[in-house]
């Protein structure tokens, strides 16, 4: 079975941009897409709104994300997963069987104005697959792609092949 493009999704604006990027990438490279939301176990199950449980809200979030991904890349097989645990270890675990792991540059928490959020920072250099951190998909964001290279021939060949074929919506770099 083909390894999936895995996207960590928390509903934040950059996670939404990462979702679109991942769906487009999966479509271009004919890979399945797996959308993962990590539910932290210490978050209360019954939030103050009293209408729906946190688990129910997470499933709605994933359902909406899957619908967005299918709109971007209708031919892609899209699956979702709600996993419980600490975000970084769970996403590192997802990366073990992924083709690529994609995350947004900033999540819902933390300090505003930071260039890279805790997930991107905590995952960089600690995944067994390529990590893509998406900052924005705005038309004025430019076409720059920054690639970290560990110096191995295998990685360099893999990235050069991938980027020479990737030009979704005019983005990407060879």
pLDDT tens-digit profile of 105-129? 765 555 444 444 566 566 776 677 8
Q: Give the mean pLDDT of 145-153.
A: 60
Contact, 14 vs 41, CB < 8 A? Answer: no
Instruction: Establish if 87 belongs to a structural domain.
Output: yes
The CA-atom distances, in angstroms, between 34 and each of 3, 92, 148 are: 10, 14, 24
* pLDDT-derived band at 41, boundaries 50, 70, 90: confident
Nearest-angstrom CA–CA distance, 47 and 152: 48
State which residues form the domain around 24: 5-143
Instruction: Establish if 137 belongs to a structural domain.
Output: yes
Instruction: Establish if 91 belongs to a structural domain.
Output: yes
**143 vs 115, residue with greater confidence:** 143
* Assigned token pair, 5: 């493009």
Instruction: Establish if 171 belongs to a structural domain.
Output: no
* Eight-class DSSP state of 128: S
pTM: 0.78
The structural domain count of the chain equals 1
Instruction: Establish if 148 belongs to a structural domain.
Output: no
Q: Give the mean pLDDT of 54-76.
A: 95
Here the CATH number for the domain that contains residue 91 is: 3.40.50.12370
């Amino acid at each position: 079975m083909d390894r999936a493009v895995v996207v960590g999704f928390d509903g934040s604006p950059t996670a939404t941009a990462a979702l679109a990027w991942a769906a487009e990438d999966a479509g271009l490279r004919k890979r399945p897409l797996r959308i993962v939301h990590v539910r932290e176990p210490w978050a209360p199950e019954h939030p103050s709104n009293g209408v729906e449980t946190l688990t129910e809200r997470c499933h709605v979030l994933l359902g909406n994300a899957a619908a967005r991904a299918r709109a971007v890349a209708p031919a892609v097989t899209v699956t979702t997963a709600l996993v419980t645990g600490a975000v970084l270890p769970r996403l590192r675990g997802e990366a073990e069987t992924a083709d690529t792991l994609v995350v947004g540059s900033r999540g819902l928490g933390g300090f505003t104005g930071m260039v890279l959020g805790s997930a991107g920072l905590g995952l960089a250099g600690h995944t067994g697959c390529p990590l893509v951190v998406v900052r924005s998909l705005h038309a004025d964001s430019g076409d720059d792609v920054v690639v970290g290279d560990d110096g191995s021939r295998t990685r360099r060949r893999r990235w050069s092949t991938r980027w020479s074929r990737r030009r979704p919506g005019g983005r990407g770099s060879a």
